[in-house]
Amino acid sequence: MNLGKLLKQVAKGEVSAVDAENIMAAHGETNLGFARVDLDRLRRRGLAEVIFCPGKTADQIVCIMSALVAGGQNVLATRATPEQYAVVRQAHAQAVYHELPKAITLRMVEPGPPVGQVAVVCAGTSDIPVAEEAALTAEVMGARLERIYDVGVAGLHRVLNHVKTLQRSRAIVVVAGMEGALPSVVGGLVDRPIVAVPTSIGYGVNFKGLAALLAMLNSCAPGITVVNIDNGFGAGVAAALINRVGEPAA
């Protein structure tokens, strides 16, 4: 089986997704040569394989996306450039580009209504793209979202206005650059699981987000957990998994 060829045929509509799925399922490992697409991850890990776009050619992205579509899975591609999206759209007309988080989504299955509540909080205007990546990811994974933006610690009253909304959320993502103090302040106000995301906003000894990361790992408010710098995607996944813990089925 020439899988690359098969996937191009799917992308062009020459082979239906159902047929392709059958063909591929008959082979143990879905091997594109340059990548092995994991069609079983949705069942095993709760979200389909996500395409991390940097370092991949637009053709490689299209190819992996086609394999996922052929597998009947919703697609999320993160950190995609507008140029990459332009190529993707030619193969997959329904693909949607989200400008702030620079992500592509493509829905194969109609989602159910969002459940629970995940709050995404960010400190400054420049942190919004990372916050949006977290929010979009959690939404793709089924969570209802609340966005609370530009509530940095230099204006404490801002975050204090939102304590009730925060307390009602199952999980809270807090995004901050600079000195990264916001998660500590939020963590002192409410008793919900908090996922802190340092951003690379800052200069000098900020070291592209390292200062904020260290602050978050050293927070005096216990129970705060942290993801890599600018990793809105990871925070969104974590928050969505926590959000599911609150569902009866979970």
| Residue 213 binds a copy of itself (CB under 8 A) | yes
Name which position in 7, 151, 166, 175 contacts a copy of itself (CB under 8 A).
Answer: 151
Longest Cα separation, the chain? 62
Residues in contact with 92: Cβ distance below 8 Å, sequence separation at least 6, in sequence order: 11, 62, 65, 66, 69, 106
| Paired tokens of 234 | 């990871």
CA distance linking residue 157 with residue 182, whole number of Å: 12
- Compute CA distances 101 → 127, 134, 149, 154, 172, whole Å: 11, 8, 15, 25, 18
Pick 18 or 84: Cβ nearer a copy of itself? 84
Pick 70 or 137: Cβ nearer a copy of itself? 137
CB of 75 to a copy of itself, least distance (A): 15
| Residue 143 binds a copy of itself (CB under 8 A) | no
Name which position in 12, 16, 22, 45 contacts a copy of itself (CB under 8 A).
Answer: 45
Binding track, positions 181-210, relative to a copy of itself; x by CB under 8 A: x--xx-xxxxxxx-x--x-xxxxxxxxxxx
CA distance linking residue 5 with residue 2, whole number of Å: 6
Binding track, positions 4-43, relative to a copy of itself; x by CB under 8 A: ------------------------xx-x-xxxx-x--x--
| Contacts to a copy of itself from residues 81-140, by CB under 8 A | 123-126, 128
CA distance linking residue 176 with residue 129, whole number of Å: 11
